[in-house]
Amino acid sequence: MGLKAGKEKYARKTAVMGENWERMKPVMKRHYKSEMDRLAREAGKPGLLPTREKAYNEGVDATSADDFRANVTGKEDKWYDNYVAAMFGA
């Protein structure tokens, strides 16, 4: 996927994710834990540190659908700029 397509995908996904935020919280937490455990095994480690899991879960739980919407909707340009800077340098 090219950068333009990624930016467009971000805009599409964030436009509808807010309405599903509360319903998706348990799924996000479960997927985070399982994926981080998979990556840990790949790195030869036993699993996600409990403190990291706790911090992620508390952050997800503390974020309301309105907070999520306010922080992501319409910010595809910011996403793009941050992604390009992080991946390729400022």
Cα dihedral 8, 88, 48, 54 sign: negative
DSSP state string for 43-77: TT-SS--HHHHHHHHHHHHH--HHHHHHHHTT-HH
Q: What single-letter amino acid sits at 11?
A: A
C-alpha to C-alpha distance for 4 and 44, rounded to whole angstroms? 36
Please give the pLDDT value at position 90.
67
C-alpha to C-alpha distance for 86 and 88, rounded to whole angstroms? 6
Please give the pLDDT value at position 35.
95
pTM for this predicted structure: 0.71
Give the residue, 62 or 18, on which the prediction is more confident.
62
At residue 63, φ and ψ (nearest 5 deg) are: -95, 120
Please give the pLDDT value at position 51.
96
| Digit-coded pLDDT (tens) for 32-86 | 999 999 999 999 999 999 999 999 999 999 999 999 889 888 899 998 999 899 9
